[in-house]
Structure 1
Amino acid sequence: MIFERLSQVGKDTGINFKFGGKTGNTRDSHRLIQLGKSKSPAIQTRVVEELFAAYFENEGDITSHEILQKAGVKAGLDEKEVKEWLGSDKGGKAVDEEVEAAQLNQVSGVPNFTIQGKYEIGGAQDPGVFLRLFEKIKATEEGAKA
């Protein structure tokens, strides 16, 4: 059921989901996202998009440093820096802290969005779910100002 829903949602937005990508320990993928984050929010977003494309559209193994290096470079990161980063444990502490915080907050799946540090949206949701939350936040903030 979930694969059919994702396939349809993806098709409607130009994403050709395939579900044969290898899963495993994605700590290095998350460390690569940390490298992107250290550059700018835009680069971080591009890294995430490239990782998603590698896994969900190209059935890539996002535990492979080769795939991660390609994704990082496509996202705009320097090839040498990506290779050095992945060959070290840079970003590992931040990833571990985020995992611990997620576990403490009982986050058990991805995607998971935390809005303003207190609202949680888990799973692949329709845009309307976000819109309703944003409208609720706006109404709450406007009510507090009155």
Structure 2
Amino acid sequence: MSESIKIDIWSDIACPWCYIGKRKFETGAAAFAEKAGADAPDVTIEYHSYELAPDTPVDFDGSEIDFLSTHKGMPADQVKGMLDNVAGIARATGLDYNFDTLKHTNTVKAHQLLHYAKTHGKQVEAKERLLKAYFTEGRHVGRIEDVADLAAEIGLDRDDVIRSLSADEHLDAVRADQALGQAYGIQGVPFFVIDGKYGVSGAQEAETFAQVLDQVWTEREAAHA
């Protein structure tokens, strides 16, 4: 088997397109693996922190429509139409978004959990759990106790997570991710860096991700021929 292909993904837990992009990438990676067969390289994923609205309070008093109307200066009806459209696209990828129960919040503690989870080999699981909690279950992902509850559900030590988040143990790693994203010129998420050389911006179709992975693999095979 070839050396694994590394995927670095900048995203935010509060980004609806990031969850959609996650599913589309997973579908594309599966299609690539099926096409490549037994010789397919592993695809390893690392998530990097990006905050869409770092000034958001932990306990925002209002709905998602309220937040976006204020934050983007858009009429509420227009925001509702936009969210309905996004929810429809999410459904097409198998995701059940529920904007009516979504609790808008600051995501910096959730990002710290992703770095904590990475040190315990559970970052991908943590990312999925946080996104599902936020977009489909109406769970709070901004407060330490709530984030720790979600961490425990994927097998992490709840008390140690509380200790880590309370001490901002991984805040420097979050800021380092953000600085690297700025250095790359990333201005929106999701943003995928594939094998350190190809950048894919946005929640592209699964076929696009499959094609890029195939291109990387083909180039590697040619280089070693």
TM bin (shorter chain): 0.7 to 0.9
Q: Once the two structures are superposed, what CA deviation does each residue of 1:45-102 show, in whole Å capped at 9, x if it has no partner?
A: 1111111011111233322223211211112111111111111110111111111000
Instruction: Give structure 2 stretches of 5+ with no counterpart.
Output: 1-80
**1-structure distance, mates of 2:103, 2:183:** 27
Instruction: Give structure 1 stretches of 5+ with no counterpart.
Output: none
Q: Contact 2:151–2:158 at 8 Å: present in 1 too?
A: yes
**Counterpart among 25, 28, 42 of residue 109 in structure 2:** 28
Which residue type is aligned with residue 148 of structure 2?
Q
Higher helix share: 1
Equivalent residue, structure 2, for 1:92: 171
Which residue type is aligned with residue 190 of structure 2?
P
TM-score normalized with structure 2 length:
0.57
Q: Which of the pair has more CA radius of gyration?
A: 2
- Residue correspondences, number: 144
Equivalent residue, structure 2, for 1:7: 87
Higher strand share: 2
Q: Whose relative contact order is higher, 1 or 2, with alpha carbons under 8 Å and at least 6 apart?
A: 2
SS in 1 for 2:185: coil
Q: Give 1:88-127 correspondences, 5 Å limit.
A: 88-127=167-206
Equivalent residue, structure 1, for 2:52: none
TM-score normalized with structure 1 length:
0.85
Equivalent residue, structure 2, for 1:17: 97
Q: What is the Cα-based RMSD across aligned positions, in Å?
A: 2.1
Equivalent residue, structure 2, for 1:80: 159
Q: Once the two structures are superposed, what CA deviation does each residue of 1:26-53 show, in whole Å capped at 9, x if it has no partner?
A: 221111001100011xx11111111101
